[in-house]
């Protein structure tokens, strides 16, 4: 078996691993898990925020089953060295992950991953094509350090190894500051637009002071378009009782209307506040990140 070197230091609260010779990993490798020695990158894709379904078991029919995750998803497909077995490559990844403190969530090899005639299902599941590549070996691991969490999925086949790393985090906010022009473009394009940067305490309807920059831009939009009238619509996630969520979302929408009328002199007849609770989610409510996106305020042209 090839020598395994494990290098540990921290970045963003997570331990870094190096599989293979103890040397600096090429820049194309993921900073958490490097390639097996002698492997070559065949494909690399990165999504800064995406959904990912981690294989953590099998269904009664033998198809892969798993857990839905959200975060930064990095997928690297490597060409395996010609003189190394799938067992050797797999064992190196497993050893390095465990040495870094990762817990193995699920693993399978050969027929335990599913009958050969059913392995094509892996190819439809996060593109884990390597299972149909002969001699499949798979593991999913969870690594938690310093408050950060990452999931690592490794599928080793005869010719290729697929490495998926999911860094759990909420969708990065504040990359695009809310501004009147962007709000207007959203209204012109879709008839409605979500307004980031409007904040409330949990289970409260009062608009927090740090919402002022967003309110400034809504007021600017209304000043630039004197004929514009808006519905202000509050949305919640699905946590808690439906009726409480609906009334809370409406109270929040009306608080926004009140802040614009009283704080910016907007004519009250131009604004109406309503709440729809969890009835129009922007994304899944199955994760913290998804619920965060669903708790929002939108403006709708009327």
Q: What is the pLDDT of residues 59-115, one digit of tens each?
A: 887 778 888 888 888 888 899 998 899 999 999 999 988 888 889 999 998 878 876
For residue 289, what pLDDT is reported? 67
Query: Is the pLDDT at 24 greater than 80, yes or no?
Result: no
Question: Hey, what are 60's tokens?
Answer: 């009664």
Query: Is the pLDDT at 15 greater than 80, yes or no?
Result: no
Mean pLDDT of 264-270: 97
> Is the CB of residue 271 less than 8 Å from the CB of residue 230?
yes
Give tens-digit pLDDT for 135-184. 889 999 998 866 678 899 999 988 899 999 998 864 444 434 568 988 99
- Which domains, from first to last, does the chain contain? 10-168 (no CATH), 180-301 (3.30.1330.60)
Give tens-digit pLDDT for 203-247. 899 999 888 988 999 999 999 999 999 999 999 999 999 999 999
Report the distance separating Cα 69 and Cα 122, nearest Å. 17
Contacts for 112-116: CB closer than 8 Å, 24+ residues apart: 113/58, 113/137, 113/138, 114/58, 114/62, 114/63, 114/64, 115/62
Mean pLDDT of 240-256: 96
> Is the CB of residue 187 less than 8 Å from the CB of residue 301?
yes
């Amino acid at each position: 078996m090839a020598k395994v070197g494990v290098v540990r230091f921290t970045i963003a609260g997570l331990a870094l691993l190096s599989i293979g010779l103890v040397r600096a990993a090429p820049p194309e490798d993921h900073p958490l898990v490097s390639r097996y020695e002698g492997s070559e990158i065949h494909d690399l894709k990165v999504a800064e925020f995406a959904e990912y379904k981690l294989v953590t078991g099998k269904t009664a029919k033998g198809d892969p089953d798993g857990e839905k995750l959200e975060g930064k998803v990095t997928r690297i497909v490597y060409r395996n060295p010609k003189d190394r077995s799938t067992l050797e490559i797999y064992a190196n990844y497993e050893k390095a992950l465990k040495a870094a403190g990762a817990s193995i969530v699920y693993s399978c090899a050969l027929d335990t991953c599913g009958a050969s005639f059913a392995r094509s299902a892996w190819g439809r599941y996060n593109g884990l094509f390597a299972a149909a590549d002969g001699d499949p070996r798979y593991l999913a691991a969870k690594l938690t350090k310093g408050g950060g969490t990452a999931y690592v999925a490794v599928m080793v086949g005869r010719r290729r190894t697929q490495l998926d790393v999911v860094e759990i985090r909420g969708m990065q906010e504040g990359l695009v500051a809310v501004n009147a022009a962007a709000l207007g473009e959203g209204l012109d394009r879709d008839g409605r637009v979500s307004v980031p940067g409007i904040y409330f305490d949990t289970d409260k309807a009062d608009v927090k002071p740090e919402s002022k920059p967003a309110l400034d831009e809504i007021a600017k939009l209304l000043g630039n378009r004197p004929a514009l009238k808006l519905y202000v619509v509050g949305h919640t996630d699905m946590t808690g009782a439906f009726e409480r969520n609906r009334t809370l979302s409406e109270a929040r929408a009306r608080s926004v209307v009140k802040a614009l009328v009283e704080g910016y002199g907007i004519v009250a007849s131009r604004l109406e506040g309503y709440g729809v609770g969890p009835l129009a989610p922007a994304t899944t409510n199955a994760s913290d990140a998804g619920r965060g996106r669903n708790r929002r305020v939108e403006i709708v042209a009327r």
